[in-house]
Structure 1
Amino acid sequence: MTDEGSPQTNRWRHGARLAACIVFLLTMFYLVAVVHVIDINRVRDLVEATGPAAPLVYALVAALLGAILVPGPILAAGSGLLFGPLVGTFVTLAATVGTATISSYLGRRAGHQSARGLLGPERADRLTAQLDRHGLWAVVGQRFIPGAPDALSAYTFGALGIPLWQMATGALIGSTPRAFVYTALGASIGDLSAPLAYTAITIWCITAILGALAAHRTLQTWRHRKTPDPEPPAKP
């Protein structure tokens, strides 16, 4: 029988804790993205009523809503509808960085120790060293990958131990193109044939292609590193 404090028991405990975090996040995603328990239009109307403080209020509210997995494109479109493409893009970026920071922090608090326990000390230390060197660009790259959920990725990065400053800076750099795209589309919602809408769609396509190419290159590099070098033939 396995002792209470044995490595096997600890691995099961860490696995159960991470599984509980995943179930919670998936439940939140179902509630806000499928059931729509949060009325974004109602939130937008309430924010608009705050007057001159509306951009700041919306950035704060959108950051919190993003952290509970309200889809970012919907929030960005609301920003464009309220504030236009210019101011709205800055509001969207502020909300995006806020969501990334909050989600990463919560992921670190809830899952970092369990992630280290499952990986083991040696693997965890190697991963930490890699993230310290390349974590910023890992976040930037994730933001360019089409279809990658930003908030869920931020929770994962936090659980893996990426520093908060890298998470925030990477989100700012990597999210700028998409922030403009979705905000501009929201501002153009009444006329999607406008030049602004076409510009946004073009930027989205370019970003998606670059992200897919970068993800493919990263995967190929990872596979190459994982493939052991062939042993030299034995001398006769």
Structure 2
Amino acid sequence: MRWWRPVGTALGVALVVVAAVLLVRVYGVPGMSDVRATVDAAGPWAPLAFLALQAGLTVTPIPRTVFTLVAGALFGWAVGMVLTLVATTLAAVIAFAIVRATGGRLVERYARGRLLVWVRLRLDHHGLLAVTSLRLVPAVPFAALNYLSGLSTVRFWPYLLGTAIGIAPGTVAIVVLGDAVTGTPPPALVVASVVCGLIGLAGVVVAARRPIPQDVREPEPQPL
């Protein structure tokens, strides 16, 4: 019986909540200025630790949006933008490399749905366009696209370039939103994020309308 797993998880969550409540009651809720002062006092170790944490955790299916918001809140929009762009790109590269290095055997069993097959075929035949447009669409899960790209035959450099271009607009907008905890978010960046999402959808339509060869075989992952 595996009943102890959900029970253990529930107990762990409860302990974290209780500990957080006790800390708040004892020390109070720090203001954003206090938090930033603590981060500044840590020197270069704080941004380096944040970069390593985001890059390591978002290789897994943990959403990166939380880290993007926190980066803006902790470091401001300029430093936060650089940190989260580098960490996101690094996580994408690591996930891609892991799938290629292992032959994709673990991921393959979960990539059977019709939508996933459709995405993989577009990655195979329209690599840079497909990666860029899919990255621009906020609804496309970051980690899932990393894994599917590793399974596909898209080459590394088009994948890297498409990732760098595609993640930039949405990332900048969310970082600025996080920085707005202590100020007012520029509306232009929010509008830019929406526009980039629409451009991404248009790219997906273009990639979808481009013909796929009829004699397509099941693709094999390509080496880096």
TM-score, normalised via structure 2 length: 0.64
Shift in alpha-carbon separation, 1:143–1:186, aligned structure 2, 3 A: same
Shift in alpha-carbon separation, 1:50–1:155, aligned structure 2, 3 A: farther
Distance 2:58 2:42 in 1: 20
The one of 134, 138, 146 equivalent to 1:142 is 134
The aligned residue for residue 181 of structure 1 is: 173
The one of 202, 206, 218 equivalent to 1:213 is 202
Distance 1:168 1:179 in 2: 16
1:87-98 equivalent positions in 2, closer than 5 A: 87-98=79-90
Shift in alpha-carbon separation, 1:112–1:151, aligned structure 2, 3 A: same
Q: Encode CA deviations 1:182-213: one digit per residue, 9 max, x unaligned.
A: 1111111345xx242x1221111101111112
> Structure 2: which 5+ residue stretches go unaligned?
1-8, 21-34, 112-119, 215-224
The aligned residue for residue 53 of structure 1 is: 45
Higher relative contact order (CA 8 A, sep 6+): 2
> Structure 1: which 5+ residue stretches go unaligned?
1-30, 119-126, 227-236
Distance 1:50 1:107 in 2: 36
Please tell me whether the aligned partners of residues 55 and 87 of structure 2 are also in contact (alpha carbons under 8 angstroms).
yes
Higher share of residues assigned helix: 1
TM-score, normalised via structure 1 length: 0.61
Question: Taking every aligned residue pair, what percent have the same amino acid on both sides?
Answer: 26
Q: Encode CA deviations 1:130-167: one digit per residue, 9 max, x unaligned.
A: 84x84233221211123001111011111224333333
Aligned residues: 171
1:126-137 equivalent positions in 2, closer than 5 A: 131=124, 134-137=126-129
Shift in alpha-carbon separation, 1:135–1:213, aligned structure 2, 3 A: closer
Question: What RMSD over aligned residues (CA atoms) do the two structures have, in Å?
Answer: 3.4
Distance 1:70 1:219 in 2: 28
Runs of 4+ in 1 over 4 A off after TM superposition: none
Decide which structure has the larger Cα Rg and report it: 1
The one of 146, 152, 155 equivalent to 1:160 is 152
